[in-house]
Amino acid sequence: MSETIFHKIQRREIPADIVYEDEHLFAFRDIAPQAPVHVLFVPKQDFATLNDVPDDSAAVIGRLATAAARYAKSQGFSEDGYRIVMNCNGDGGQTVFQIHLHLLAGAPLGRFGTPG
């Protein structure tokens, strides 16, 4: 997999608001937020897209989701609610080819999935 901007963020080579890190993953605020809260959770194990994650690495994805839920609880919006999203390839709107989970929250979110 090629180097991405998220590797540079992980190495602190470019600035980002990193809100969480452990041995498996790190999380930082999206530079172009699509909701009042928009945080990206990125595993430290590299996969370009969700298509590249084998069954025996399913825990990588599970950890992203549970880290997002823990963050939502820690920030006090888990009961109001939130959305997690992973975009895959062109039709999914993926622009950074290193898997990541979007956490969106902080206001009622619109419906999703409409073409355009």
- Which of 31, 25, 21 lies closest to 100 in space, CA to CA? 25
Residues annotated as catalytic (active site), given as ranges: 100
When the beta carbons of 48 and 79 are compared against ligand AMP, the nearer one is: 48
CA distance 61 to 51: 12
Question: Does 51 help bind ligand AMP (rule: CB under 6 A)?
Answer: no
Binding mask 72-111 for ligand AMP (x = CB under 6 A): ---------------x-----xxxx---------------
Q: What is 33-91 written as a DSSP string?
A: -SSSEEEEEEESS--SSGGG--GGGHHHHHHHHHHHHHHHHHHT-TTT-EEEE---HHH
- Of 5, 18, 50, 84, the one binding ligand AMP (CB under 6 A) is 5
Nearer to ligand AMP, 32 or 55 (CB): 32
Closest distance to ligand AMP from the beta carbon of 9 (Å): 6
Q: How far is the CB of 69 from ligand AMP (least distance, A)?
A: 19
